[in-house]
Amino acid sequence: MPLVAPSLLASDFLHLEEECKMVNESDADWFHLDVMDGRFVPNISFGIPVIEHIRKIAKKTCDVHLMIEEPEKLTEAFRKAGADQLIVHIETCRNLHSNIQQIKSLGMKAGVAINPHTPVEMLYDILEDIHHVCVMSVNPGFGGQTFIPHTLKKIRNLKRAIHERGLHVLIEVDGGVTLQNAKSIVYAGADVLVAGNTVFKSPNPKTTISELKFIQV
């Protein structure tokens, strides 16, 4: 049974409080919060003030995904804003191990994200230091994109490496997750499904979350 992390990037920001309450009342496990700086990715989303307000309502884990340059400069600020877990991109961290240690020293769980073009083998030396890997199954920056099929092979390879090392690192898949492809994603080895449009554009978001959560593999 996968964990489900609705991505608030796809929510109705005019009714953000109601959207957060819906996630609280649903079978979802985490809030997935995408932070974009317009530098690392060609888009700007929301930042610390919005996360502070979400944290006041959110009753579940806040999984904050930093798609930003120089994340180490804002790590402590995101902790204070309410992040329980902080994801940094391997592509933006010159000293990734240092970034991970910084996150953990501040009491958060550390995650590392990889873009579609980045080989999962680049993560092998730091797997034992992290809580989860966020495998990007679309190019980061915009919601509503189509799942990249090659991601399934990356998930399988990563799952094998985790098992061979006897680790308990979660694999989170972010981008293009739908009710139609979720089964194959979980079957490949995903532990966490990030879903944006699939949830928030659904006629019944709570039902959709439940269908993702209790998908039969």
C-alpha dist (Å) from residue 173 to 4, 56, 119: 10, 26, 15
66 with 20: CB under 8 angstroms? no
> CA-to-CA distance for 156 and 63, rounded, in angstroms?
23
Residue 73, classified by CB atoms within 10 Å of its CB into exposed (0-12), middle (13-18) or buried (19+), is exposed
C-alpha dist (Å) from residue 61 to 4, 25, 42, 210: 11, 13, 27, 17
Name the token pair of 217: 């593999």
Active-site residue, selected from the candidate residues 29, 37, 63, 174: 174
DSSP 78: H
Residue given tokens 């739908």 in the structure block = 178
174 is catalytic: yes
Say which residues have a Cβ less than 8 Å from residue 217's Cβ, sequence separation at least 6: 183, 186, 187
62 with 51: CB under 8 angstroms? yes
> CA-to-CA distance for 100 and 110, rounded, in angstroms?
6
Active-site residue, selected from the candidate residues 29, 34, 63, 191: 34
Q: Known catalytic residues?
A: 34, 174
